């Protein structure tokens, strides 16, 4: 027979669940920010790619002139870095979502079992 968790174990599970939910919210915000940055980078890439005049980039708060090829290479690198970060955060988000589901199911199971035992 499986031993029912005591009240302290249940409280810890609920706290863990709440922490996971807060982490999920933070990762969701971070993902949205990263995706927005990627869209901006892609838009900048299109603009630079279609330009025929001078190209300027921002370097540490200073705007400097550069070649179109260098600007495109820099944008390509930044898009790749953005993709890597999005992938990493998405993986962590999905792992947390799985943990949240497990905790939720376990907590629900415990409460249903407690309700059944009281009737």
Q: Using CA atoms, how far apart are residues 13 and 15, in angstroms rounded to an integer? A: 5
pTM: 0.79
CATH code of residue 28? 1.10.287.370
Is 83 inside any structural domain? yes
Q: How many domains does the chain have?
A: 1
| Residue-level pLDDT at 1 | 45
What are the backbone dihedrals phi and psi of residue 56, each rounded to the nearest 5 degrees, phi first? Answer: -125, 145
Confidence class of residue 39 from pLDDT cuts 50, 70 and 90? very high
What is the pLDDT of the chain when averaged over all its residues?
A: 90
> Considering the domain boundaries, does residue 118 fall inside one?
no
């Amino acid at each position: 027979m499986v031993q029912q968790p005591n009240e302290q174990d249940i409280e810890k599970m609920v706290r863990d669940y709440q922490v996971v939910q807060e982490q999920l919210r933070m990762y969701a915000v971070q993902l949205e920010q990263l995706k927005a940055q990627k869209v901006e980078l892609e838009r900048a890439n299109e603009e630079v790619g279609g330009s025929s005049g001078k190209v300027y980039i921002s370097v540490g708060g200073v705007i400097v002139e550069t070649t179109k090829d260098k600007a495109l290479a820099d944008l390509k690198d930044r898009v790749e870095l953005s993709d890597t970060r999005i992938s990493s955060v998405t993986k962590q988000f999905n792992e947390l979502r799985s943990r949240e589901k497990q905790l939720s199911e376990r907590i629900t199971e415990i409460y249903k079992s407690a309700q059944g035992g009281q009737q």
